[in-house]
Structure 1
Amino acid sequence: MKRILLIVLLLACSSFVFGQVPDILCTQVNEDGSTTIYYNTVNPPNFAEYTISSFNSTSNSYVRIDGVTSISQSIYTDNSIDNNSNANQIKYSVSSGAANVSYANTMYLTLTNLTNSSFRLKWTSPHPSSSSPLVGTNGQSYTIYRMFASEGQWQQVGTTLDTIYIDNFLLRCSDTVSYRVELPNIYGCSSVSNVKKIIIGDHEIPLEPVLLSSSVDVSSQSLNLEWTPSISPDTWGYIICMGNPCIAIDTIWGSEQSTYNCLTCSVEQINSLAMMAFDSCYNTSLRTNPHNNIVLSYSREACSSKINLSWSKYLADPVNVILYEIYVSLNNGDFNLYQTYNQDTVSSVFVADPNIVNYCFYIKATLSNGHQVNSNKVCTSQSLPKQVDFAYIRSSVVDLENEKVDLEFYVDASLPVRGYDLYRSPNNIDFTLIKTFTYTGSNTFSFTDKPPVTLNKTNYFYKLHVPDECDLLYTPSNTVSTIKLSIDVSNPDINILTWNPFIGWDALEGYDIYRVDGTTPQGFPLDNVQSTSNRYEDNISAMVSTSDKITYYIIAKESGASPDGTLTESRSSTASVVKESLVFVPNSFTPMENVNNIFKPFCSFIRLGTYRFRVFNRNGEILFDTKNPDEGWDGTFKGKNCPTATYVYKVEFINSQGEKINKAGTVNLIN
């Protein structure tokens, strides 16, 4: 309809406005590349045709391309040239005779990309010359139209009197923009340029972030990434990827984000994580090098104190590991540094304390970029092995020679074990293993120990260790001491005894004091003292002994409750004193009387086994002979009373100084 009205308008005005020259009013490049020429009609005499010509650069002249024989036709479309592919304007002429020629050009539009969102448009003028514009266009402005393919509609974006225009628009990530330029004519048509299309978009990638670390949070056991954000201003966020090829697993929105918690990552596996930045057009940066987290694992055999730890290396080229550290937690307590290793070490053997049920470990690596990363946490639990209920040393008995000590043991034999370890110490601090007893299933056994130093010079301490079923933990027995008895003889009439307190029982009833002399080889109980006492004074001023030595020992007596209810005794070392030998021989006796009727020497502190006493008559005949210091002569010989007379005696013995004594004299027998 618009075209019909335009034709009518041109026909109506042609005879009044225009002369005999068919002036070109508009050149319109169509979407298919053809050109439609609008011109005014004329009515010259001898009309033959409107000749349509285009300029041929080869011949440097206009060449006829067609003719319009209808005098009233004012529009012609040229399909011979594709204006969309032609890189130059096309010059046309329309004539109705040799002298009646008008000229015009097509508007050829070109685009120059200034930025991703800015173009410079430049086009050729449709006017045949700057001094002779197309009829009806004087003072008219060029109108610039733009269309985005994503929108599908042409929009006017500006006007200008010039043939250059710069268009700016908001950045688009990916689209096609089209431009055309129109020059309106007052006579109803418009010259239209070719349509210029160009693909636009933001194809500049942002700078990649700097991945710093991939570390496991010890508390939550989740994997965390840390990075330095991209410095590109158009950064919108980050893409986290895993593996090789690196497959995206998550998107982090926000240019300033610098950490990521990977909830889908198993910290017990190596996660090769990398990342990329993306901009508002979802252009992605180069990918960072991946970081491989540390994975810690362990192995532990049953009934073993060794925990074997091994871990994967932290890989993050070009970042290197400076050192590895092992941190350990005991029974769910705080973690503490256990050991430090160089960057090439990936295993360690930890020796566990069997008393600790639960151990947890993790590895910390210090990186060359100054950051630290943690491995996953591993925990191992091993219940305490079965142990015996009790181990008890009943007693320690020192022999009379102070060379040996007899130990009696009582143990829980219901649990088969490797054996029983006996330890000895001279100070109750430094114990040395001296004997291992084989397990036999019996709950009682004994052992005689011969220490390196005699037991009257020092005392010793003993304890028994019974291993558990795994030979890891030990049930200790009570610690039992020997008793070292000492004697002070600075006072000739009083022997002062002292001893170390006995150690070993829950309760001690007291100490029994024993004295050994010639008449009591095994000793006899002299006295007893309370358990709190360790001193005793023995008054020997009135003592007469047939031995040159007095020996003492004490016996500690148990009270309270022992494991099986049996109360025992422990014996000390012996302590002896050698007294000066004394001999008194009476000079007369009366066998027929009730008193003084036995003749014998009174000997004290002579050496046992060296005594001999004999009585002779004047003829040298032996009337009496004995080696028993307690036996005397009753004045008879062969069952008959001897007469009153003077008799000779001889006494032989070895005194306390080791000297052999021979003493002789006479005695009067009075009837």
Structure 2
Amino acid sequence: MGGEITWECLGNGKYKIYLKGYRECAGVQYPDTAVIKINNYPSLNQVTPVTLYKIKTIDITPTCNPIGPQIISCADANASSSANMGAMQEITFESKETYLNGMPPKEGWIFTWSSMQRVESSNILNASNSGWTLKSVMYPYDSKNSYPCYDNSPQFAENAVAVLCIGYPYTYSILGYDNDMDSLVYEWTQPLDQYFEDIFVAKPITFMPGYSYTNPLPNSSINPLNKSAVLNPTTGEITFESHTQGAFVLAVNVLSYRGGKLIAEVTREIQIILLGCGTNKPPVVDIPLISLAQGDYKLLSDTVYVGENIQYEIEVIDDDSIGNGLQNISLELISNQLGNNATDSMIGCIRPPCAYLSNTIPIIGTKKIKTTFNWHVTCNHISNYETIEEQNTYNFAIKMSDDFCPAPFRMFATLTIVVKALPALPPPKFTCLSVDTSGKTILNWEKPIDTLNSFNSYIIYTSESINGVYTPLDTILDINTTSYIHTTANAKKKPIYYYLKTTSGCYKNRVSISSDTLNSIYLDVKDLGDGNAYLQWNKPLFKQSKYHILREYPETVWSDVDSTDIENYTNSISLCNAYINYIISVNYNETCISHSNRMGKIFKDILAPVTPTFKTVSVDINLDKTILTWETSKSRDTKEYIIYKDTNGIWLNIDTVEGLQNTVFIDYNSNPSLKVEKYCLASIDSCGNTSTLNTFNQSILLNAYTDVCNELNSLNWTAYLNMTPRLLKYEVYVSENNSPYSLLAVLDNNTLSFNHENLVNNSAYNYYIKAVDTDNKLEAISNLKKTTIMLQKRPEFLYLKTASVEKENNIKIKFLADTSAFLKSFKIYRTTIYSTPDSLVKELAFSKQKPYYEFTDINVNTNSCSYYYMVSCIDSCNNEMLKSNIVRTIFLEANTNKDIENELTWNEFEGWLSESNSYSIIREIDKSNNFEVIKSVQYKLNKYYDDVEHYLNSQGNFCYYIQAIEDNDNPFGETDTALSNIACAVQSPHIFIPNAFTPLGNNPIFKPVASFIDDNNYLLRIFNRWGNIVFETTDMNQGWNGQTKKGVAPYGIYLYFLYFNDSNGKEYQFKGTITLLNIID
């Protein structure tokens, strides 16, 4: 029931292997020997057995105050008694000194021991029928041979069996430690069943429902009051709260790391026995440290640096009583860093000085006990056997217990102290590297920040090549020394390279990385023989500014000539004969300026001055003369400027301007309004050297003319050439009637023309062009150009008076024109859809003596639709100057209906300027050529119903037209009318034929009654039963009186036949019978 396999590295390079196991006092006895297997030794998949010998058996049954409740006793234990629950022994086995040679494989050498007998457990399924296996692993480390040995496995200061009382939060610790100061990590792992194979095979045991290897103790699924076990991976503490009794198995893997590499693994199986003990509160520890939350657990932790003295007050409180008195409580501190008896500061720990207490342990008392923890931390505490670590972590287990029965309440807390080494300092930061006149180099730097006195020295390294071998030049032991002179550098002949390092730390062996590598600047000066000094130097590896060129002339007087980003410079010599020295300076940072070596020569000025650069060649518009401006010569000894002018292709010297700063010239012999004026410049220095001619510049010649037809002024000009740095745009300026000039247009540098539109008639316009450079600093102005605009008079009105249907397929339009305008003709347009008319019908000539115009359009179909008309006037430039209003003709439609009415519909007449117009409806009956007004209606009433029931005796042919009448509020004082097409509606005939008559009675005449028929084609016939005609007439007003040639016809049934036409010539025939009745009928 629980245990682990560990090993110890002996001084002679061999190992001792240990097995610890636990048993219930009434359980099965362990044998005197135990055989463990080393799997994968001496090679993979091989097994080597090692015999271990029992060396001691210890009763670890809980001891408590005998006046308390039931006492657990190993002596009284038997398999069936309750006293056996918690009565236990610890058995230790030890091997002889064992020689392990070779290097473990990556899977490690796996140490295992198995047993077929596992005690009954509450969380294991069929535990008594299961076996158990203990396992540890030794891993390879840095390819080292295991002989001689180099590692001790993790060890444990607390038993792998704990007897505890339920009902309270509890912290149990396995108190793991490593004498090599390797880092330990704790994790849950699977308890193992026995295996029977030759080579190790992991066989996990099966947990009861509600339990698992990561949740091995009673949890809330078993009892809502339970709190699941949580394992702290750093300290190995297990915290939980159980209200469930029983014996529980759990397993923890303890992983040992050295330098971040896994070196050992020990699996410890633990048995937790939970008893129902009654009421007993746990002891509580108090240390004035920050309690750091780490998920579900807390740490008592502190971080210190080498050199600090640590002191904590540790206090344990438990005021529970037992019997008639208080419980005894005890305090122990467990760590391999604790001195002998917990009070020795130098002996008994793995790394002196030792931590120690103010009392020997265990410390026993009632209610409250306290002690003082002391430790002086040194550099020894951050080293291990093989490497110097940056920090080490030390865990001190605080074990507290009372003497309650049957199981004392034992609690654990871990005090974690992280010891950090003195920090390694960074290298110093270079600020300057200069060369003096003798070739010595002067190095300057900033010291690193050292608050913990970690500094040891600066080391200066040097080389004559950036990629060469750097050798230590000197060592400086004072951190406050921040400069150094390299006396043998000889840097006036070549560049020298340097970097710095810092040594620091506990053992003065923490060497920093290298600082930035700096090199001195080596300057070489050459006389080019053309009056220029050519300076060239090597590039420093690090810089923050431009290079500054310093020149010495006269002696001891230094001036800043120029600055540059590249490693060469050409300096124009402005002196005729002189010795000149140069130095290059540059900033490596903001605090210091570094200098190159000093280099000089004798120079003679045979170099021509720098060719002058034009600003502009412009025109003074007030003088109408060309004005030249240019940049001041960069050659400071320039004495005068020569002006050259292109005269018929020959450059003639026309004048000289004296003085460096005099950079303006007016050519009073120029004529820039008639031609382009072209110029060049040259300069002469004080030594008589003359420059070459510069690139010519020329004036802008502007021309302008008036385009009367398009009512604009058209401008064009010559290009401005060779503007420095580059021509960006042209700006057009205008003055109207001598008003101030204003910007009219901005054009790109390729545009050399512009049209000025929207001109005002009879106005005078003055123009000039301005060429502008890309920096918006230079401006070149053209000559001035003047124009006066005399535009054709535009018509003020064009009014289309009417569009009237004069007769079928003839539409007459009439319009009124402005005779004061300058016009050529009128264009008449037509369309049948609602839009601007676009079909040209006719062009009429304009006459200033003729304000009124008429035109009849015969290419229309007035009986199919209405038409839209528009007139436009055309000037002498063939431009359309003005469009008239749009007029729409009236299209009338006439239809009959069943109510003996004629329905008239027509579209609105459109185009008049009057608001209140009207319509007259005019009618003709039966093509009589007698049209009469039958009705007047308001404008916008476009439908009329004509009741013709009173004209039944007519032929039924009704024709109409509409007359639109313009009201007299027309703004031109012109009123007019417009006629529609003639539309006709023909009423269908109406006929009534009697079926009987009495010649000698009250109804003596048989006659059909007909309306809306043509009486010119009328025929009525009467037949007897034998088909003989007894009566015939062509007069629609004559009927049959029943008489025949023989007298009154006999009564009886007769046949009739009726034929006639309507007014459109349509034929109608009716046949039927009539009854002739005698008088008696």
TM-score normalised by the chain length of structure 1: 0.49
Higher relative contact order (CA 8 A, sep 6+): 1
